[in-house]
Structure 1
Amino acid sequence: MIKITADSTCDLSPEIIEQLDISLMPLHVLINEEDFRDGIDITPKDIFRYVSEEGKTCKTAAVNVFEYENLFKELSPHYDAVIHISLGSGFSSCYQNAKIASEQFDNVFVVDSSNLSTGSGHVVYEAALMAKKGAQPEEIIKHLEEIIPKVDASFVIDTMEYLRKGGRCSGIEAFGATLLRIKPSIEVVDGKMIVGKKYRGNFDRCIVNYVKDRIENNDDIDYSRVFITHSYCSPETVQKVREAIEQYASFEEIIETTAGCTISTHCGPNTLGILYKRKSKK
C-alpha cells in the first residue's frame, strides 16, 4: 500500500482528498506574527476579513523539518511507501525541508511539483489515482516526473492590493492597475511566477477573454482534465468560465476547487485560474 501526502497548497477539494485518502501538511499563515495552520485554524475568508476589514498584514511560512519528520514518522510504518508532493521549490523551502526530513526513512519519497495550487494538484491527483490502482512507487515517481513540466498553471487577479501588501509589487503599480482597471494574469513558468497578459475592464469579461486566450486553437492541450480554481468568485463568474471552457475545448473532466490560504494570501479575493496539462513539455 502506498500513501500519498501533499502540502496544503495543492488546493484539491475535500471530496477528492477524502476519496483518494490523501493526507495534507498545512503551511503556516502568519497574521501580525500570530501563527495559523492553513485550512485548520484559518480559511481564506478569514484572511480577507483580516486584511480588508482589519488592515492586518498577512503572509505565509513553510512547514519546517520537524513537522515533516513527525508526519513521516506517523505514516512510514503503516505503508510500503509514502510519496510526498511538495509546493514548488521556487516558491518555498517546503520541498527542501521535506527532503531533509525524508532522509531518515527508507520508504519516504519527496517530489518537487515545481508548481502551486492545482498546478500541484494535478500531480497529487495523478499520484493518488496510480496508488489506488496498485502502481509501484518507482512507476508513480517516474510518471510524475514526466507530467510536472507539462502542467499549465495560470490565474487572473482582480486586485493587486494583496500583492502590494506582500511586497510583490509597488504601491504605484497597484494604484496604476486599479486606476486603469487592469487585471493581470499570473503564470507559472519554469517553477516561478511571472506576469503574463494584462486584461483590462470588468473582471468577468477579462476572465472569459483569458480562458479564450489559454485554450482556443491550442493543439497542445491534454484534454483529460482541467481545474477551475478560484478564491471565492461568485457562482455566476465560475459558470461563465465553465461555459467558456466548454465553448473552446472538450475536456473529459472539469473540476472546480476553491483556492486555499496560500493563493488567497498573495492574490486576494476574486482570483481565478484554469489549470490543465499540455501534451508536450515547454
Structure 2
Amino acid sequence: MGTIKIFADSTCDLPSSWIEEYEIGIIPLYVTFDHSTYKDGVDLHTPELYQKVKELGKLPKTAAPSPADFIEAFAPFIEKGQQILYISLSSELSSTYQNAIIAGGEFDDGAVTVFDSLNLSTGIGLQVMKAVRAAADGQSVTQIVDLLIKLRPQVETEFVIDSLDYLYKGGRCSGMQNLVGSLLKIRPVIKVIDGRMTPAYKIRGSREKALDQLLNNALNLKSEMDNDLIFVTHSLADEDAIYLQKELQARTGAREVATSNAGCVISSHCGAKTIGILYTKSIQ
C-alpha cells in the first residue's frame, strides 16, 4: 500500500473496476426523492434513478457529502500513516470541495490535501488517473498537485444532451423551449469552462448528426491531444458509446479509449442518452 491515498467523489464516473484496481477512495454525493435519501452509486444507480423519476414525475435533489462524511472516510487511512489527496467536483458546481476543506482542517497539517478539479464526471476522472499513476511512480503530494495544476486547464469536457426534458424538469429551460426544442429535435451541447457547465451550441437534427458533430469536434483537436487516455462517458447510451470509442481509437491512436457510465448525480441533471467525449490536451 502506497503512502498516498487518492480520493475522488461519486461524480468522477470512473469505471468501478478501475476504482477497485487502483484502490481509489470514493465519497458519494446524495440523491433525495421526497423524504428518501440515497448515496450515489451505493444505494441508488442510474437505471433506478430514471425509474424513480418516471414514477414520481420529478427530479431528485442532490447534495454534497458533509464534512463528517469526509472525516469518516479519511480517518482510517490517516491512522495508517497515509496522506490523503482528494480531487473534488468543481467548486463552481457544488459545496463538496468546501466541505472537504473543512474536514481536512480536523487533521494534522499536511494529512489531507484537497484539489479542485474545476470539472465534473470523467473530467475529474482524467485528473484522478494522472494522480494515481504519479503516486505509483513515487511522486509526492506536492509534485502531484503541481502536475494537476498544469493539467486542469487542459481538460476538454463536451457532451450532448439528448432531450430537453431534464433541463425543463430541473428549471433550466421553459415549457415553450422544451416543446419547440423537441419538435425541432434540438440537442444542446454543454462544455465545462472555468469549472462551470456552459451551453456551447445547439445541434438540430438526428442523434446521428449530433454524435458525428461531437466526434468531429474532438478529432479537430487530435493534434493537441494527450493520447494517453480518452473517455466516452454516457448515461444509458451503450451502443453510441461503443461507436464513439471505436472511432476515436481508430482515428486518434490513443493508448486507451475507455467508456464509462454517468452516475446518478450527473444523470439527474442531464437525462438519459446524454453522451460526452472527455480528454486532456498535452501539457506544453
Range class of TM-score, shorter chain: over 0.9
Counterpart of 2:122 in structure 1 is 118
Structure 1: gaps of 5 or more residues: none
Cα gap change, 1:79 to 1:185, in 2 (>3 Å): farther
State the distance in 1 between where 2:211 and 2:16 align: 25
Alignment length (residue pairs): 280
Counterpart of 2:275 in structure 1 is 272
Shift in Å, 1:248:
4.1
Match of 1:222 among 211, 226, 232: 226
Counterpart of 2:173 in structure 1 is 169
Asked whether the 8 Å contact 1:58–1:166 carries over to 2, the reply is no
Shift in Å, 1:31:
1.1
Task: Give the letter for the 2:188 counterpart.
Answer: P
Task: Give the letter for the 1:199 counterpart.
Answer: I
CA deviations 1:235-277 (Å, max 9, x no partner) are: 2x22321233245422121011111111110011101001000
Counterpart of 1:234 in structure 2 is 238
State the distance in 2 between where 1:234 and 1:15 align: 17
Counterpart of 1:244 in structure 2 is 247
Residue 10 (structure 1) aligned with residue 12 (structure 2): yes
Asked whether the 8 Å contact 2:67–2:99 carries over to 1, the reply is yes
State the distance in 2 between where 1:243 and 1:200 align: 24
Aligned-residue CA RMSD (Å): 1.6
Shift in Å, 1:215:
2.0
Task: Give the letter for the 1:103 counterpart.
Answer: G
Counterpart of 2:36 in structure 1 is 34
Match of 2:77 among 69, 75, 78: 75
Asked whether the 8 Å contact 1:59–1:266 carries over to 2, the reply is no
State the distance in 1 between where 2:209 and 2:250 align: 15
CA deviations 1:87-117 (Å, max 9, x no partner) are: 0001000001101110122211101000000
Asked whether the 8 Å contact 2:214–2:277 carries over to 1, the reply is no
TM-score by length of 1: 0.94
State the distance in 2 between where 1:51 and 1:58 align: 8
Shift in Å, 1:280:
5.3
Sequence identity (%): 37
TM-score by length of 2: 0.94
Cα gap change, 1:244 to 1:216, in 2 (>3 Å): farther
Asked whether the 8 Å contact 1:184–1:197 carries over to 2, the reply is yes
Counterpart of 2:46 in structure 1 is 44
- Runs (4+) of structure 1 moved beyond 4 Å? none
State the distance in 1 between where 2:59 and 2:161 align: 19
State the distance in 1 between where 2:26 and 2:217 align: 33
Structure 2: gaps of 5 or more residues: none
Asked whether the 8 Å contact 2:150–2:283 carries over to 1, the reply is no
Asked whether the 8 Å contact 1:89–1:95 carries over to 2, the reply is yes
